[in-house]
């Protein structure tokens, strides 16, 4: 018996109940009004995953993809994660396949778990797999933060963070330690990393940190970047690559580095300052570079030399990162920001709203936001 698509879909609802033992074939047959043999045919492990089609004489019509099924299976055995789009492209270009992409996609959805089982890959392992990508020298770096907790709590420093940048081709590491993660600190660490490597990569991969992404958006929408991140990237001539949400494996190289530095540099040691922690990392780097990496099977230092040579030259002047925020001037001619009070000359307090622009070493107050070109409107200049 060949079921029509509606009855087939109705029957497929019971597959999970049958596999779990909650219902028997006879019970499903009585519930659906179908013959027990028909239920067994369509709910077996080898049953069709797509509705059966009929020809004009009432018989099931052969699908174009069926002829190429052994070929698709062989492709999946060679690369179990090969995309259906790639398989369709090869079938059409190399083997004369005339069917559409959707037919290939539907077949691959059912064939991939079966081929994975043949290869000894469990469904859980298959779901956690992803294709490893490699890049050419100088093409990419990855950035991430690590939380090192209260490692300097005995010195009165409540929190310490580690900034990491890894060159993706060689896995050459950079790390420095900070007491904050604000905008100025974030890009100051970038400058230190570029000096460490001797140049800037073509692309840097980030997660959706607030110092790079201005706000979160729905999947598929363009990610609005922080203006200072755009300005910094333009100055050093690299592209910003923001990972899709919930894709931590996209920067696995740097996430692995966070753990390696924690184990080999910090574990079991005590420090009295951020400077000592930075020095401990610098002393460990030659040991790391002398190792043979377990993935690319080369000495990290030898591969790093090619990576460094392909980096872009640094501009002669550094980029000044500044954070701009609007603040109201109080009646006492003071502006509050981050627990600090900044004075504004009494004869220049109108209009009552000013913009605070904070750099690494000083702060500026302007009559209106982003009017640095009109220096005559400068209200006050402060050093922290």
Q: Report the CATH number at residue 303.
A: 3.30.420.10
Q: Are residues 22 and 96 in the same domain?
A: yes
Residue 134 within any structural domain of the chain: no
Work out how many domains the chain is built from and give that number.
3
Q: Are residues 115 and 233 in the same domain?
A: no
Q: Are residues 226 and 298 in the same domain?
A: yes
What does DSSP say about strands 203-206 and 239-242: parallel, antiparallel, or unpaired? parallel
Tell me which range, 67-71, 98-102, 174-178, is most confidently predicted by mean pLDDT: 174-178
CA distance 149 to 147: 6
Contact 240, 228 (CB under 8 A): no
Q: Are residues 363 and 224 in the same domain?
A: no
Q: How far apart are the first and last CA of the chain?
A: 83
Q: Are residues 253 and 340 in the same domain?
A: no
Which of 248, 281, 309 is at the close of a domain? Answer: 309
Residue 285 within any structural domain of the chain: yes
Which of 128, 158, 192 is at the close of a domain? Answer: 128
Q: Are residues 145 and 292 in the same domain?
A: yes
Q: Are residues 102 and 175 in the same domain?
A: no
Q: Are residues 150 and 289 in the same domain?
A: yes
Distance of CA 298 to the CA centre of its chain: 26
This prediction has a pTM of: 0.58
Q: Are residues 59 and 150 in the same domain?
A: no
CA distance 204 to 240: 5
pLDDT, tens only, 219-242: 656 778 888 898 999 999 999 988
5-12 vs 25-32: helix crossing angle, rounded to 10: 140
Lowest mean pLDDT among 97-106, 180-189, 225-234, 333-342: 333-342
Q: Are residues 305 and 167 in the same domain?
A: yes
Judge whether residue 189 has pLDDT over 80: yes
Domain span holding position 353: 323-382
What does DSSP say about strands 173-178 and 160-167: parallel, antiparallel, or unpaired? antiparallel
The pLDDT score that the predictor gives to residue 170 is 93
């Amino acid at each position: 018996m060949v079921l029509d698509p509606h009855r087939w879909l109705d029957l497929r609802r019971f597959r999970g109940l049958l596999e779990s033992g909650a219902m028997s074939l006879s019970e499903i047959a009585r519930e659906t009004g179908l013959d027990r043999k028909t239920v067994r045919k369509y709910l077996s492990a080898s049953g069709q995953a797509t509705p059966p089609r009929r020809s004009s004489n009432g018989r099931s019509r052969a699908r174009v993809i069926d002829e190429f099924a052994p070929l698709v299976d062989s492709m999946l055995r060679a690369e179990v994660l090969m995309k259906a789009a790639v398989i369709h492209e090869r079938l059409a270009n190399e083997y004369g396949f005339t069917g559409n992409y959707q037919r290939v996609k539907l077949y691959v959805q059912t064939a991939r778990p079966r081929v994975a089982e043949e290869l000894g890959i469990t469904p859980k392992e298959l779901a956690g797999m992803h294709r490893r990508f490699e890049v050419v020298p100088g093409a990419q770096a990855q950035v991430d933060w690590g939380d090192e907790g209260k490692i300097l709590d005995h010195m009165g420093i409540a929190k310490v963070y580690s900034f990491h940048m890894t060159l993706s081709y060689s896995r050459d590491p950079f790390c420095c330690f900070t007491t904050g993660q604000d905008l100025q600190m974030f890009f100051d660490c970038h400058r230190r990393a570029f000096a460490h490597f001797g140049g800037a990569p073509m692309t840097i991969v980030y997660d959706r940190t607030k110092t790079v992404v201005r706000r979160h958006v729905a999947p598929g929408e363009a990610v609005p970047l922080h203006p200072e991140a755009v300005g910094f990237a333009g100055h050093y001539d690299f592209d910003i690559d923001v990972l899709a949400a919930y894709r931590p494996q996209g920067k696995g190289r740097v996430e692995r580095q966070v753990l390696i530095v924690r184990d080999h540099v910090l574990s079991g040691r005590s420090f009295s300052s951020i400077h000592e922690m930075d020095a401990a990392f610098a002393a460990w780097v030659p040991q790391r570079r002398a190792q043979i990496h377990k993935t690319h099977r080369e000495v990290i230092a030898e591969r790093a030399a090619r990576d460094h040579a392909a980096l872009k030259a640094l501009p002669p002047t550094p980029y000044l990162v500044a954070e701009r925020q609007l603040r109201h001037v109080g009646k006492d001619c003071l502006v509050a920001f981050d627990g600090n009070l900044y004075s504004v000359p009494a004869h220049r307090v109108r209009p009552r709203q000013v913009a605070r622009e904070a750099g690494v070493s000083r702060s500026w107050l302007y009559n209106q936001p982003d009017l640095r070109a009109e220096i005559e409107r400068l209200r006050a200049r402060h050093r922290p």
